[in-house]
Structure 1
Amino acid sequence: MITLGIDIGSTTSKCILLRDGKEIIGKSLLVGGMGTDSPKKAMDTVLKECEITPEDVARTIVTGYGRKNFEFGDGEVSELTCHGLGGRFVFPELRSVIDIGGQDAKVIVLSESGRMSNFVMNDKCAAGTGRFLDVMATILQMDIGDFDACAAKSSDPASISSTCTVFAESEVISQLANGVKREDLIAGICSSVAARVSALARRAGVMPMVCMSGGVAKNGAVRRALSESLDMEIAVDPLAQYFGAIGAALYAYRQAIK
């Protein structure tokens, strides 16, 4: 049995094809999320690459920001549920998921059986999200993919005290003008994101084993700062950005076999 999970985020669209609830047989990721044609393109891409027709798919479940406005699914479910399911699919002993997406940050705590027992979400402010990092990358005229290597060169991370993205932007520009090294600014920016997210994690009651999901999981500097702040090892997997879609595909499978 083949099921499809689609995660429509604020900046990207991800798809996962799952066979019998156990094997990932295809995946796709396109830049562009809610309000774009990327979700449909991502779905068409993964089906084409796997040589599967829509009729071959037993059930399709949609999650993420755009889940309620996608007409090609059989149902939708909260991204909180899906990130928990997806994380547990990859890490069977998982107890906490830290998801830093484009527009929000979520911490999901799971019971021993894998059911969600608590969560805390920041969706009111861009600080502590991927959007914050994107803004800072623009200011510094850097590719965000270079943050990790650059931050690793820092010997004196800058202090970014502002809790608002707009004010932090001014603070970074001012420090840059005052001669603060770029690598120290980047290290400080990543530590600032980690500090905000670790505060969410503590409120949620985070416990090991902990993993990161979402696009920011690829940023090693944020991961290291977060691990240090929480004094916990943070697991990461190459599929981290697909956890929501994996969870949606798994949810679809569980519905289909009922």
Structure 2
Amino acid sequence: MITVGIDVGSISAKAAMMKDGELIGSKVMLTGYNARNAGERVFTDLLVELDIQRDAVDRIVATGYGRNSVDVADKAVTEITCHAAGAHFQDPAVRCVIDIGGQDSKVIAMDTTGRVTDFAMNDKCAAGTGRFLEVMARALEVDLDAFGEMSLEADQPAAISSLCTVFAESEVISLIARGERRENIIAGIHESIGSRVIAMANRVGITEPVMMTGGVAKNIGVVRALEKKSGKPIRVSAHAQVNGAIGAALIAANIA
């Protein structure tokens, strides 16, 4: 059986294809202004990349904020369920998932079967998300891809007290004006994200092992900040950015 999961997020659209329970390919692209087109494009591009005909795909499940706009999907499933399924597939030992995406962050507690037992989600404010990091990168005139490694060179993380993106950007601009090192400012930004996310995680309960998923998992500085604030090691998913799509593809294999 061939199944596909399509995860349309606010910043990127992801697709993952499974064949008889094995991940055979995935694709990531920018969502752009049209979520419906993004879901179709990422699916079509994955088919071309894997040289698989559309009619060879048995079932498709969509997830993410744009899940209801994916016309090719047989069903839409919440991202909480899909991220838990994807994490369990990648590492069955995992009991807690921290997912930081473009415009939301979530913490998911799971049982031994990968079933969601509790979760918390921040989807009302961009603080502590990928979009927040993009705004900070522009203010600092630094490539976002360099953020993680640069923060590890900090000697004293700057204090970023505001959890609001707009006010935090003002704090960063003030720190720049005072001549603070970029590395210290970036480390401070990561620590503010760590504090916000771990406070949310503590409401759910952080049971080890902990896995981080989502595009922000590629930022080693955020991972280290989360480890520092939680006092626990964090595993970074091998397919962090497409974890939700993987979960959706797995769920597609089990729908009637």
Tell me the alpha carbon deviations over residues 77-131 of structure 1, each in whole angstroms, 9 at most, x when there is no partner.
0000000000111011110110001101000000122210000001111111111
TM-score under structure 2 length normalisation: 0.97
- The one-letter amino acid paired with 2:223 is R
Task: Compute the TM-score of the two structures, normalised by the length of structure 1.
Answer: 0.96
Partner of 1:81: 81
Cα distance change on mapping 1:207 and 1:33 into 2, 3 Å: farther
- % same residue: 48
Q: Partners in 2 of 1:17 and 1:114 — Cα distance?
A: 20
Please say if residues 63 and 82 of structure 2, whose CA atoms lie closer than 8 Å, have aligned partners that are also in contact.
Answer: yes
Match of 1:31 in 2: 30
Which contiguous aligned blocks of 4+ residues in structure 1 show a shift greater than 3 angstroms?
none
Q: Per-residue displacement from partner, 1:12-65 (whole Å, max 9, x unpaired)?
A: 010011011x21111111012572432211101111111111110110000001
Find the counterpart in structure 2 of residue 107 from structure 1. 107
Q: Which residue of 2 aligns with 1:63?
A: 63
2:88/2:113 contact within 8 Å kept: no
Give per-residue Cα distances to partners, 1:165-216, cap 9 Å, x unaligned.
1111101100110111111000000111111001011011121010111000
Q: Matched residues in 2 for 1:33 and 1:252: separation?
A: 26
Within a 5 Å distance, the mapping from 1:186-201 to structure 2 comes to 186-201=186-201
Alignment of 1:44-63 (within 5 A): 44-63=44-63
TM-aligned CA distance change 1:34 to 1:9, over 3 Å? farther
Check the 8 A contact 1:35/1:66 in 2, yes or no. no
Give the Cα separation in 2 of the matches to 1:119 and 1:33: 28
User: Separation in 2 of the partners of 1:217 and 1:163?
Assistant: 20
Counterpart position of 1:251 = 251
Residue type of the alignment partner of 2:217 = A
1:7-18 matches, within 5 Å, as 7-18=7-18
What's the counterpart of residue 207 of structure 2?
Answer: 207
Please list the CA deviations of residues 111-170 of structure 1 after superposition, one character each: whole Å capped at 9, or x if unmatched: 122210000001111111111101000101111110111111100110000121111110
Structure 1: which 5+ residue stretches go unaligned?
none
2-structure distance, mates of 1:54, 1:242? 20
> How many residue pairs end up in the alignment?
255
Q: How big is the alpha-carbon RMSD for the aligned residues of Structure 1 and Structure 2?
A: 1.0
